[in-house]
Amino acid sequence: MERIVILDFGAQYNQLIARRVREQGVFSELLPPMSSIDRIRGEGLSGIILSGSPDSVYAEDGRRCLPEIFELGVPVLGICYGMQLMTHMLGGKVEQAPVREYAGVKAHFEQSPLFSDMPDSTVWMSHNDMVTKAPDGFHVIASTDECPIAAIENTSKRLFAVQFHPEVAHTEYCAQFFKNFTRNICGCTGSWSPENLIDGIINDIRAQVGGRKVVAGLSGGVDSSVAAALVSKAVGDKLTCIFVDHGLLRKNEAEEVMHFYRENMRLNVIEVDAREYFLSQLAGVTEPEKKRKIIGESFVRVFEREAKKIGGAELLLQGTIYPDVIESGSGGASVIKSHHNVGGLPEKFGFELLEPLRPFFKDEVRAIGEALGMPKELVWRQPFPGPGLGIRILGDITEEKLNILRDSDWILRDEIKKAGMDREIWQYFTVFTGMRSVGVMGDSRTYDYAIGVRAVVSTDAMTVEFAEIPHKLLRKISNRIIAEVPHVNRVVYDITDKPPGTIEWE
Give the number of other Cβ atoms within 10 Å of residue 336's Cβ. Answer: 15
Sequence-separated (6 or more) residues with CB below 8 Å from residue 60: none
Which residue among 167, 172, 327, 364 is the active-site one? Answer: 167
Helix, strand or coil, per DSSP, at residue 430: strand
Which residue among 88, 127, 165, 339 is the active-site one? Answer: 165
In contact, 12 and 499? CB cutoff 8 Å: yes
Q: What is the DSSP letter of 393?
A: B
Instruction: Say whether 165 is catalytic.
Output: yes
Question: How many helices and strands in the chain, by DSSP H and E?
Answer: 14, 18
Sequence-separated (6 or more) residues with CB below 8 Å from residue 210: none
Angle in degrees, CA 31, 34, 35, rounded to 5: 50
Helix, strand or coil, per DSSP, at residue 481: helix
Q: What is the 3-state secondary structure (H, E, C) of 136-168?
A: CCCEEEEECCCCCCCEEEECCCCEEEECCCCCC
Instruction: Say whether 80 is catalytic.
Output: yes
Query: Residue 36: is it exposed, middle or buried by C-beta count within 10 angstroms (0-12/13-18/19+)?
Result: exposed
Rounded Cα distance, 433 and 413, in Å? 18
CA distances from 147 to 85, 162, 163, 226, 405 (A): 17, 11, 9, 47, 50
User: Phi first, then psi: what are they for 451, rounded to 5°?
Assistant: -105, 130
Return the closest-CA partner of residue 392 out of 343, 421, 383, 498.
383
Q: What is the DSSP letter of 183?
A: I
CA quadruple 21, 138, 126, 120: dihedral sign: negative
Torsion on CA atoms 90, 95, 96, 102, rounded to nearest 10? -40
In contact, 165 and 177? CB cutoff 8 Å: no
The pairing of strands 444-457 and 427-441 is antiparallel
CA distances from 432 to 392, 393, 402, 425 (A): 6, 5, 8, 21
Instruction: Say whether 484 is catalytic.
Output: no
CA 7 to chain centre: 17
Return the closest-CA partner of residue 53 out of 126, 141, 135.
126
User: Which residues form the catalytic set?
Assistant: 80, 165, 167
